[in-house]
Amino acid sequence: MGRGRRVSRRELPDAGRAAHPAPVGQHGLLDRMRARTLRAWSWVHKWSSLVSTAFLLMLCLTGLPLVFTHEIEHVLLSEPWRPARPDGPRLNLDQVLETALARKPGEVPAFMSFDEDRPVVNVTSVEPGGKAGVYSFQPIDQTSGDAAPLVAGHPVMEFLLQLHTDMFLGLPGMLFLGLMGLLLIAAVVSGVVLYAPFMRRLPFGVVRSGKQARTRWLDYHNLLGAVTVAWVLVVGATGVVNTLATPIIDYWKNTALKELTHAYAAPAPLGRRSSLQAAVDRAKAALPGMTLQFVAFPGSSYSTDHHYAVFFHGDTPLTAHLTTPALIDARTGQLAAVAPTPWYVKALSLSQPLHFGDYGGLGLKVVWALLDLATIVILGSGLYLWLAKRKRAR
């Protein structure tokens, strides 16, 4: 026999190779794939944060006082007022409407709303064919028919609300802020993905106080981000829904609301409308246990050309934000339909108060404010960390 030679591993049959451990290169490939994935998430986190930071800071700063809108306006705008006849009979809604229109000859009613804490009915009227957005608003004492003092928002709070809602740009501003909300959600999700491997090396919530300032701020940034992640996602998602309020309401009015009344072909003549009070009474009978919120007159943006739309809401902290309209034929005074709002309108109705913590009284608002402050720190520290990293790289 000839001298044997050593057989190389690549010459072994497949079964022989399978018995040996996997080559180190496969682990390296997995590591490189993980590294690429983390770099992609890091890119998403960096740019979604940087693009939106300035606008998110504006929203957090303006949103902080808006959380306490009711409390602030109660202090700044509280004016003592008593109805003319607190214990006397109240005017019916037809009498209130007649009184309001007598003071604005030539105008037609658009809406009627009702104060919750005083016997005041608010009548909104417009000129037929007049300029859009121009209207008359009259608060009327229901005990006497006299004019009641107007309760309007404080100018500073109105300014902050407009800035927070659309930056004084109308629908384009709302949609732009909705895009910033989506970037916030992307930043939060990517931050959670990046924080997961970081947590395997350090205890949760650790702040390395002995390290340099950048490391300490990184720990604060991560800790506050982990604590507020659920709240930021809720507020961000509800904020995005709120920016779609105009398209959502328009879609509802042009689809679901119109489908209920497609059988009616002609508008009701103005001089032949049935009693408003009777219409509201019939709507109350159709929706017992609910609270009257407002009435939209025929031809207004929340009704049809031939119906009173009588809107009601519930009496619990949750259902108080959900409205249900009953449509009353303005010619006959008969109930035409009860129109439960579709799911997307309900989502909008619930998103608006949830965005500002307006569900559980002052206690919940304080929690909202503290989380808002924490988010401001997160945004500021994230900007500082990016600037410090660029400075160190240079």
SS3 label, residue 173: helix
Q: Note the Cα 351 to chain centre separation in Å.
A: 4
Q: Give the pLDDT score at 30.
A: 58
Q: Region 57-79: what's the mean pLDDT?
A: 90
Q: Which of 27-41, 248-262, 283-297, 374-388 has the lowest mean pLDDT?
A: 27-41
Task: Report d(CA 86, CA 93) in Å as an integer.
Answer: 17
Q: Region 30-43: what's the mean pLDDT?
A: 80
Handedness of CA 114, 115, 117, 120 (dihedral sign): negative
Q: Is 101 exposed, middle or buried (0-12, 13-18, 19+ CB in 10 A)?
A: middle
Strand order in the sheet with 120-126: 136-141, 120-126, 108-114, 291-296, 307-313, 323-329, 335-338
Q: Which amino acid is at 63?
A: G
Residue 5 scores a pLDDT above 60: no
Dihedral angle at the C-alpha atoms of 25, 26, 27, 31, nearest 10 degrees?
A: 90
Q: C-alpha angle with apex 367: 49 to 241, nearest 5 degrees?
A: 50
Q: Give the pLDDT score at 87.
A: 87
Q: Region 90-112: what's the mean pLDDT?
A: 95
Confidence category of residue 37, pLDDT binned at 50, 70, 90: confident
Residue 363 scores a pLDDT above 50: yes
Q: Give the pLDDT score at 28.
A: 60
Q: Give the pLDDT score at 268.
A: 47
Task: Report d(CA 270, CA 278) in Å as an integer.
Answer: 17
Say if residues 96 and 119 touch (Cβ distance below 8 Å): no
Tokens matching residue 328? 């009353």
- pLDDT, one tens digit per residue, over 124-172 is 999 988 777 789 999 999 999 999 988 778 899 999 999 999 999 999 9
Highest mean pLDDT (candidates 11-20, 73-82, 361-370): 361-370
Task: Report d(CA 286, CA 90) in Å as an integer.
Answer: 23
In DSSP terms, which residues pair with 328 in a beta bridge?
A: 308, 335
Q: Region 286-300: what's the mean pLDDT?
A: 92
Q: Region 69-90: what's the mean pLDDT?
A: 86
Backbone angles phi, psi at 22, to 5 degrees: -65, 145
Task: Report d(CA 253, CA 238) in Å as an integer.
Answer: 22
Residue 277 scores a pLDDT above 80: yes
The 8-class DSSP code of residue 21 comes to P
Cα 44 to Cα 52, 130, 152, 324, 371: the distances in Å are 12, 49, 43, 42, 24
Q: Give the pLDDT score at 157.
A: 93
